[in-house]
Amino acid sequence: MGISRDNWHKRRKTGGKRKPYHKKRKYELGRPAANTKIGPRRIHTVRVRGGNKKYRALRLDVGNFSWGSECCTRKTRIIDVVYNASNNELVRTKTLVKNCIVLIDSTPYWQSHYALPLGRKKGAKLTPEEEEILNKKRSKKIQKKYDERKKNAKISSLLEEQFQQGKLLACIASRPGQCGRADGYVLEGKELLPEEDQSPERQINSFIAHVKKKKKKKERKC
C-alpha cells in the first residue's frame, strides 16, 4: 500500500464513497517522517522528483549555531531538546525538528569571544589548556584589534548565567529531515524572556507549564 497523500480514496463530505478512476500516482506518495534523534551522525539520501536528492538525518549530534549579536557562527555539540511549541511528545523523545529549542555546548563561543574567559566565577582559576587558548602569541596588529574589541565586549546577564553552566539555549532554524543538518541560532534578548530573574532552565520549565495549562483549559471546554 504505502503512504499516500491523495484525497480520492477518502469519502465525500456527504459520506458517499468515491469511485477510483485512476491508479495511484507517484506525485501523490508520502514518505515516513525522519524523527531525527540526538546521536552519532547518520544521514540517508532519498531520490526525489527530478532526480534531486534529499538528505534525511536520522541522527545528529552537532550543528552550526550563530551568535547574532556577536556576528559569529561556531560548530558545537547539541546536548538536549528542552522545548517544542508544537508538541511536548517531541521533547520527551528528544526529536530534532525545525524551531525546537535545544541546549548546546557553550565552549566554542567563549574561546573566540575576544580572548576573554566567559562564564567564569570571580576568582576561579583557568586550566592550563584554557590559558593556552586565551593567552597565545598574537601579532601586534591582531592584539590591537582584540584590545579594541574588549572595550565593548560586555554581554547580557542572561547569557552570562548560561555560560557559567557551560550550556546555551538555541533554536534550530534548518530542517533536519530535508537537508540533513541541524543549524540554528543562539537565543538572545526577548526570546530568552519572560522573566530576567529566572535561570534559563526555569524559564523553559515555566514556559512548558504555561502551555500545559492552556491545553487543560481547552480540554475542559470540550
- Give the residue among 32, 35, 25, 22 at the shortest CA–CA distance from 97: 35
pLDDT band at 87 (very low <50, low <70, confident <90, very high): very high
Residue 3 lies in a domain: no
Percent of the chain scoring above 70 in pLDDT: 79
Domain with 146, as residue range(s), is 114-154
Are both 130 and 62 inside the same structural domain?
no
Are both 108 and 120 inside the same structural domain?
no
Q: What is the pTM of this model?
A: 0.76
Are both 174 and 184 inside the same structural domain?
yes
Are both 94 and 179 inside the same structural domain?
yes
Residue 24 lies in a domain: no
Q: Is a pLDDT exceeding 80 seen at residue 128?
A: no
Residue 19 lies in a domain: no
Are both 43 and 101 inside the same structural domain?
yes
Are both 102 and 131 inside the same structural domain?
no
How many structural domains compose the chain?
Answer: 2
Residue 13 lies in a domain: no
Which tens digit of pLDDT belongs to each residue from 29-72?
Answer: 999 999 999 999 999 999 999 999 999 999 999 999 999 888 88
